[in-house]
Amino acid sequence: MQRDELKKKLILTVLNVKVNLNNNFNYSKRLMIKTAVVGATGMVGRTMMKVLEERNFPVSQLIPAASERSVGKEVIFKGKAVKVVSVMEAVEARPEFAIFSAGASISKEWAPVFAKNGTVVIDNSSYWRMDKNIPLIVPEINSHVIKKGDRIIANPNCSTIQLVMALAPLHRKYKIKRLVVSTYQSVTGTGVKAVAQMENERLGIKGEMAYAHPIDKNCFPHGGSFQPDGYTTEEQKLIDETRKILEDQTIQVTATVVRIPVVGGHSEAVNIEFEKDFNIDDVRQLIGRFPGVIVYDNPSENKYPMPIMAHNRDEVFVGRIRRDLSKEKCLNIWIVSDNIRKGAATNAVQIAEYMVANKLY
């Protein structure tokens, strides 16, 4: 563990980039917002509370909610212990915002209940994402589609978020025709059970299996469940959500999802075919200027994004930027981001920040 921490410190020093964990909003001291986190005891839920605290979101009262087996347990928020309540108790508290990370079945059942009670739900599950009436939001890209009166906002899949953060500025200038995406996804995307499986395997301990196969010293092309066409649900999310967020159904997308034994974040190898030809220096500048994205790309000095670099960071890192020499108007890039932070918790909190700043709640 100490060696890993030293590695991370070294990487941060090499990057020479200051991370600003505070938001850009100057909240009124009188602005106080009651906020629920549904799924508060899970990996993403705990990170959501951490991000709310780090970004100084004006929480007047935190309402951590979870399943019945977790009711009465305590979570820590701003140095104080807060008791976990049931989802129904959270509804009855009438929070202004409820940030969900409790799975699709819970979101299906409870998001409309909160919404009917006047609460804005920001949902991290897959349930509402492709509903044509529900905004699917990455704030840096398409916050303009949120309207006052929207009561359910969908948070995209983690692998989609980091992908579109790198693609958005390029699509606006060169128009993307086709994407070939291969992901190398952290076990944290599956949750605590998967992390425990990996750690047990490394220690030679037999324990509960989150996957059908060993994950340590292994990788497998399986994320989500397989569909009749041979693609997985995780691969289908990349296809559908990318088109919706970039507001272009003509983009052709094919994807392969691979699970790998790391915890720092997801990585993606992306081949992009454009309608228009591009200048490689312009590509670097467009990506590097986009909010929340850092170009880290100097292969001659072994500088390229890695999960160990992205761990506990909010930025999306892009490297290995190069032309595809096998075909005209094609580009290869490598994208890495912490799937629990920007890929889930941070993006959800940013949505709430945007709605508060623009008085849309």
Q: What is the residue-level pLDDT of the chain in tens, covering all 361 positions? A: 444 444 444 344 334 333 333 455 666 667 889 999 999 999 999 999 999 999 999 999 999 999 999 999 999 999 999 999 999 999 999 999 999 999 999 999 999 999 999 999 999 999 999 999 999 999 999 999 999 999 999 999 999 999 999 999 999 999 999 999 999 999 999 999 999 999 999 999 999 999 999 999 999 999 999 999 999 999 999 999 999 999 999 999 999 999 999 999 999 999 999 999 999 999 999 999 999 999 999 999 999 999 999 999 999 999 999 999 999 999 999 999 999 999 999 999 999 999 999 999 9
Confirm whether 3 is domain-assigned.
no
Indicate if 330 belongs to the active site.
Answer: no
Choice among 171, 213, 219, 266 that is catalytic: 266
Cα–Cα distance for residue pair 291/36, rounded to 1 Å? 28
Domain ranges, residue 60: 12-155+344-357
pTM of the model: 0.92
Residues 202 and 280 in one domain: yes
Say whether 266 is catalytic.
yes
- Are 280 and 150 in a shared domain? no
| Annotated active-site residue in 158, 171, 311, 330 | 158
Contact by Cβ (8 Å): 188, 101: no
In a domain, 5, yes or no: no
Determine, yes or no, domain membership for 213.
yes
| Whether residue 192 is found in the same domain as residue 259 | yes
Residues 167 and 307 in one domain: yes
Does 246 reside within a domain?
yes
Same domain, 49 and 94: yes
Regarding whether 218 and 89 lie in a shared domain, the answer is no
Q: Is 7 within a domain?
A: no
